[in-house]
Amino acid sequence: NAGVTQTPKFRILKIGQSMTLQCTQDMNHNYMYWYRQDPGMGLKLIYYSVGAGITDKGEVPNGYNVSRSTTEDFPLRLELAAPSQTSVYFCASSLLQETNTEAFFGQGTRLTVV
């Protein structure tokens, strides 16, 4: 059982480049989340999705876009990368029937923008 899989694990981007961080889960979870974690800091919600075709902004959506065409996949798109987007990105998913289902996290993607 793979759980939540993120690719790539590491990436270096030049300023102005774009890329897509991939996230897929095989648990048939309806909820999916993207967070960023700056060094020594907490997790800030970028975007989240309550199901295929439905996404909503979190705390820090600027500079990012998402789509949710299937239950399994929730890619995060960075357009025009900036040094401020240097961070570790986590994808998570959960099965929301009530509030008591924990989120399962991927291993993270460490992104550096130079």
Partner 1 sequence: AQKITQTQPGMFVQEKEAVTLDCTYDTSDQSYGLFWYKQPSSGEMIFLIYQGSYDEQNATEGRYSLNFQKARKSANLVISASQLGDSAMYFCAMREALGTSYGKLTFGQGTILTVHP
Task: Give the footprint of partner 1 on this chain (CB under 8 A).
Answer: 31, 33, 35, 41-45, 48, 50, 56, 58, 88, 90, 92, 94, 96, 98-100, 102-105, 107-108
* Strand duo 109-113 + 104-105: pairing: unpaired
1 or 98: CB nearest partner 1: 98
Burial of 33 (0-12, 13-18, 19+ CB in 10 A): buried
Q: Which two tokens stand for residue 39?
A: 């060094």
Cα–Cα distance measured from residue 77 to residue 98, given in angstroms and rounded to the nearest whole number: 30
Q: How far is the CB of 16 from partner 1 (least distance, A)?
A: 28
User: Which of 14, 28 has the CB closer to partner 1?
Assistant: 28
Query: Is 17 or 58 the residue whose CB approaches partner 1 more closely?
Result: 58
Please report how close the Cβ of residue 108 comes to partner 1 at its closest, in angstroms.
6
* DSSP label of 103: P
